Structure 1
């Protein structure tokens, strides 16, 4: 894995992980906060409705109308003439009252007061619980002496000094309840008031219901009012539902019906009265018989804005992730770019190119390293120049005595002097060693000229086949002792001329074919093939020799490189031949390459332009 890839992965992990975590946490918090906001809205509306319902009963019904105080100190029943204005005032103040009845809470006869009004029409003693007088809205006062209420719950509770509200019941005109409240006298200071009679009334809940069902949570959210047992008192869609046990038996409903608390309870999603999935909240009103106020908000509307918010978070997260990915490439390029420049510089120095100058401007340690690298390159360049100068001088100094020794040896051989046997063998060794030295000196001079830019080629149109024939013929004497066959494949005539320096071309062919013989097996073969390809002539030298491994092929054309293969090391060589061949071919505007497989032979090829 490259350094750039590692840096990108590390950068992306360190940046994307917090971003994705932020996105996930945002999703969670938005969902949770949204649900909490919905709950708060429902709680506020439910508390408001609860307060309105309590105000309706405690203030409008009881405090203003039914909790009557008779302005007399005696513990006696009031006269009918005293009650008539009370009835009229009650109906006027509270439209919800439909029927009002007064029931005696003390035994006795109404006291006559000529200054107030006429004597009551009741002459006998009135027992506790007997109905005194009643009236319906729009009707006259009436007396039904046969009606007793002493055993009713409403009378018992009201005569004991407590307000009473019955369970709601359905009528053709809508839901109603029965209420009862005590009526007191006004005793002298220091004495407790006495309940003289009980006021009962039939209260229409229609005004309360209409106000409740008009309210909305958003566009589709609604409120319901249920009795303690779950009967529907108010529901916005259909008044026919009122009074029926239609509240859905969900887990939320069962929990609400089983609890007796005024705390607002909320729920998760359930199927509501309209058959839709809703978010619900509810509370009891223990002051009026544990009625239940419920708010149901369809999930579709309550969460309508949630997908938009979540989508915006997702878009932000994705956009940020894309920006971070792009930024990671920019940062990686800024960080890895100088490292690559340094790596490329080191590679060029490894190839012997000391002319380059690295340009890194990062203002940090990498720039300092680049400057140090350039100084090092300058030093290496100077050392390389000194080396080249030394090689050039040394080879020139060696060439003269080596050539002179070769001349003397040749003169001795040409003179026909017969050497003693004890001298002949050392003589041959001296001549062979000197020939190798001369060859090495020539190669070093060739390299020195190439590196100094003084290797010259004089190209012109040349007939390639005759030159190949000449080189092959001269090397047969080397191949025959090892029974290596030299073959030139037939070519199509006329064969085009090649653009080359004839002497340098002979040097290239001599080097490649002699190598093919040197590193071949006894009884093997060397084949020379010529072909044209486009505007080039390709020359191939194929052998059936030792072959070269894939890793070693990378170093074939380097100076002084030789294979570590023991079979190769048995042959003498300097490792300079192929380097010189490459320099010559490239100076003639050509290319050279090799294809080989270990143990199966090698093919060296070079291309030159057609003249």
Structure 2
């Protein structure tokens, strides 16, 4: 419609111009009107033919290609597709939408590239630290010739600890890889989350005493909430979160676990009164190898992958995990699980790739 109006305007402009020239030389109204009509009709037909043949048809083809290639269709199918009545306007909208989409994809690719560089840098550093330590202890033992047995035993124990750290790194990386690829399925079972929390507390009782941190469950163990989830993987989530509270907790502090029923879900929160986390670090807390306090994290140990594994496990259950924290006051990690339905047990399904 807009195209035809444009052709009419151009044809009228040409007709008026030629009619005015004719009247200027002939001074006859009749000749001027004949000239106007003939010129207007001729110009309209010429413009319409030229635009239809050399412009409009090309725009139709461009529109077909853009619209269909966006949908991933084959080029041959795209060429034979029907188009709308106003392809010029549609082309403009399609190109703008496509530009926005491509910009979004480029931004995402840049983000992934930055993440890849950071990940390679971090993993390289994480592996080099224990490897260099092991290498140093072995060279010291070789230079000493094992003459000082007490010193040799100390060096071997330190080398052994660094070997354990390498083992933790490899195992955690392997677990994340399997979770992402779906090689490690989620085996749904129905169980009481309260019972699992009690078992985790019992298994971490000695470690809590070593850190001088009290474990507390704010609900009653007898009032159990049945959930549908992978029991062993949720155990791992609780162990990782509580162990994390030991690492960054304070002496004579408290780590508490709470449950809240939310319609068809239950929210489990692990709260500590430790050093807390700066707000600017919260969005990156579940990234692999991300540490808010590098020097302290090195002393504490661990692979730096615990929270990343926790996030993968919860998302594999198609649930959510979040964190809130205040510096010098503590942190709270909360995740949801599906409440078990009596008549609809969950089948075993593979992990979805995140």
Class of the TM-score when normalised by the shorter of the 2 chains: 0.5 to 0.7
Are residues 469 and 332 of structure 1, via their aligned partners in 2, closer, same or farther at CA, if it must alter by over 3 Å?
Answer: farther
Cα distance in 2 between the residues matched to 1:544 and 1:472: 17
Partner in structure 2 of residue 443 of structure 1: 172
1:474 to 199, 203, 208: 203
Q: 1:515 aligns to what?
A: 244
- Of 89, 93, 109, 1:349 maps to 109
Q: Would you say the 8 A contact 1:511–1:577 is kept in 2?
A: yes
Map of 1:340 onto structure 2: 100
1:532 aligned residue (241, 261, 266): 261
Determine the C-alpha separation between the residues in 1 that align with 2:231 and 2:285. Answer: 24
Paired residue for 1:460? 189
Provide the C-alpha distance between the structure 2 equivalents of 1:463 and 1:599, rounded to a whole number of angstroms. Answer: 34
- Number of aligned positions between the proteins: 222
Hey, what's the Cα distance between the residues in 1 that align with 2:182 and 2:217? 35
Alignment partner of 1:426 out of 155, 172, 175: 155
> Matched residues in 2 for 1:428 and 1:333: separation?
68
The offset of 1:541, in angstroms, is 0.5
Tell me the residue number matched to 2:318. Answer: 589
User: In 2, Cα distance between the equivalents of 1:331 and 1:567?
Assistant: 57
8 Å Cα contact 1:491/1:531 also seen in 2? no
TM-score by length of 1: 0.33
* Corresponding residue SS for 2:215: strand
1:9-31 per-position Cα deviation (integer Å, ceiling 9, x unaligned): xxxxxxxxxxxxxxxxxxxxxxx
Higher relative contact order (CA 8 A, sep 6+): 2
TM-fit CA distance, 1:599 = 2.0
Write 1 or 2 for the structure with the bigger share of strand: 1
Distance 1:600 1:343 in 2: 41
Q: What is the Cα-based RMSD across aligned positions, in Å?
A: 3.3
Q: Select which of 575, 590, 599 maps to 2:304.
A: 575
**Secondary structure of the structure 2 residue equivalent to 1:440:** helix
C-alpha distance in 2, partners of 1:333/1:491? Answer: 59
Q: Tell me how far apart the structure 1 counterparts of residues 111 and 220 of structure 2 sit (CA, whole Å).
A: 38
Give SS of 1:554's match.
helix
TM-score under structure 2 normalisation?
0.55
Aligned CA distance change for structure 1 residues 601 and 331 (closer, same or farther; 3 Å): farther
Q: Deviations over 1:235-287 (max 9, x none)?
A: xxxxxxxxxxxxxxxxxxxxxxxxxxxxxxxxxxxxxxxxxxxxxxxxxxxxx
CA separation of 1:343/1:515 partners in 2, compared to 1, >3 Å: closer, same or farther?
A: farther
1:283-337 Cα shifts (integer Å, max 9, x gaps): xxxxxxxxxxxxxxxxxxxxxxxxxxxxxxxxxxxxxxxxxxxxxxx99988875
User: Which of 483, 497, 500 is matched with 2:226 structurally?
Assistant: 497
Cα offset for 1:494?
3.3
2:194–2:225: 8 Å Cα contact kept in structure 1? no
Alpha-carbon deviation of 1:535? 1.2
The CA distance in 2 between the partners of 1:575 and 1:351, in whole Å, is 21
